[in-house]
Amino acid sequence: WVGTEADLWVTKSDSPGPVSAGTPLTYYVSYGNDGPADAQNVCITDTLPDDVTYVDVLSQPGRWDGPDYAPGSPATLTWCRATLAAGESDTIVFAVMVNPDVVGAIANSVVIASDTSDPAMGNNAPPPTVSSTSCEADAYEEDDTSEAAAGLSTGVRQFHNFCDDDTDWLAVQTRAGYVYTVTTSSVGQRADAFLALLKSDGSTLLAANDDYQGTEDYSSQIAWKASVNGIYYVRVTNRAGLFSGYTEYEVWLEQKEGYFIYLPMMLQKSGTASVAEVEVLGVIEHTCADDYETDDTWQLAQPAELGVWQEHSFDSDPTWYAADKDFVWFEIKQRQTFVFTVVPVEGTETLLELWDEDGSALNVEGSDQLVWTALAGGRYYLSVSPLTPYTYGCAEAAGYDLLVEMAPRWEIYLPIVVRSSR
């Protein structure tokens, strides 16, 4: 006597464990039918977490159709076959890529089903397979505050990453009268290092820079003449708060005797000061470029026409690349006041910042509007960048409208009193 019921089962495992963010992960889906009857119209469905990207099937038995890949959130893989005989078992192997921004656990679930009666359903959908991710911290952690800043000396190139958060601190011991230059080089393709120089109190901002002139990636540089013997702090942050995988960068310090006259804070236009010894990957990748791209650095800034709205988008996927940012330039006269207004689409938050003609930060910033009066005339730059890590899409999904206009000048007329001469 042969029964009319089947007993399907499925299990799942993965390798390696733990897995590094931004690297391949292999899943093994083992299945079988303990009978007594053959199972008809059998399907296996694997639900992929948003933390991974499907790559390919590495091996599967020939009787399966598929996989049928259905993208989405979540994405699914489905294999089907007409019959799974009683006593038959095997394994499907497929690969995914762990997204570089993943931190923590990755849960993946699988289920097997058929048209044949199966009274033992408990083994048809096992608990999710949980993979732990790792992002190996650099040798200078924990350097997340000024109190824990890593020392930076001349002649040593330090290799850092934003593995656990988006901020690193460096401490520079200086001698009065010497000129010091700190330079970064973005190595990871999600790295866009931003430099800020602070006094020994760790809170007084002296200068800031993003994308110095001459750089071939999204790197920064600050130079200054030390006025006293002591400690200066350098804060390095990754744009848009990105952290985890693909965020590596190099940083180094140069020292020169101060034979020349330097302003207290001065950005050096020395793009050839040093050459990175590793391949530079830092990149902004545009998937649906707006009409003003490429405008990702102040050197590539597009002109802002007064009174004319511009439509922009943040279209670089921060899961894999550095976050998008846009720059415009404008000419302004001394004591003129300009108003910068941004109207973002719903769900998009923006950061507005002003820069001088050398790309040095003016320490003027806001969220959706700035009103600024120039103390000196000339060319200046406005940058607009995403305020949150995962702002990404075309103009209708992660875009904004920008308007630059001159503020009206108000003139006060005093009453004129004419006295009679009689």
Strand partners, 183: 221, 252
pLDDT digits 0-9 by tens, 59-78? 999 899 999 999 998 999 99
* Same domain flag for 309 and 381: yes
| Assigned domain for 63 exists | yes
| Assigned domain for 398 exists | yes
Going by pLDDT thresholds of 50, 70 and 90, the confidence category of residue 302 is very high
| Assigned domain for 417 exists | no
- Pairwise CA distance, residues 161 & 238, whole Å: 10
* Same domain flag for 196 and 229: yes
Question: How many CB atoms are located within 10 Å of the residue 385 CB?
Answer: 21
The two three-digit tokens of residue 304, written as one number: 């802002």
* Same domain flag for 170 and 123: no
Considering its fold, how many domains does the chain have in total?
Answer: 3
CATH number at residue 209: 2.60.120.380
| Assigned domain for 381 exists | yes
* Same domain flag for 94 and 211: no
| Assigned domain for 414 exists | no
Q: What is the pTM of this model?
A: 0.72
- Pairwise CA distance, residues 110 & 237, whole Å: 40
- CA separation (Å) from 23 to 16, 70, 99, 195, 253? 10, 22, 8, 29, 32
| Assigned domain for 275 exists | no
| Assigned domain for 412 exists | no
The reported pLDDT for the residue numbered 417 is 59
Secondary structure (DSSP) of 131-160: EEEE----TT-S--SGGGPEE--BT--EEE
* Same domain flag for 155 and 258: yes
Domain boundary among 104, 134, 164: 134
* Same domain flag for 17 and 92: yes
Its domain, for residue 74, covers 8-134
| Assigned domain for 123 exists | yes
* Same domain flag for 221 and 104: no
* Same domain flag for 122 and 33: yes
pLDDT digits 0-9 by tens, 89-133? 999 999 999 998 888 889 999 999 999 999 999 999 999 988 888
* Same domain flag for 184 and 238: yes
Pick the range with the lowest mean pLDDT from 56-70, 110-124, 252-266, 376-390. 252-266
* Same domain flag for 130 and 151: no
- Contact at 8 Å (CB) between 70 and 78? yes
* Same domain flag for 168 and 127: no
* Same domain flag for 163 and 124: no
The reported pLDDT for the residue numbered 272 is 30
pLDDT digits 0-9 by tens, 316-373? 988 888 999 999 999 999 999 999 999 999 999 999 999 999 888 999 999 999 999 9
pLDDT digits 0-9 by tens, 11-43? 999 998 788 888 899 999 999 999 899 999 999
Amino acid identity of residue 158, one-letter, is Q
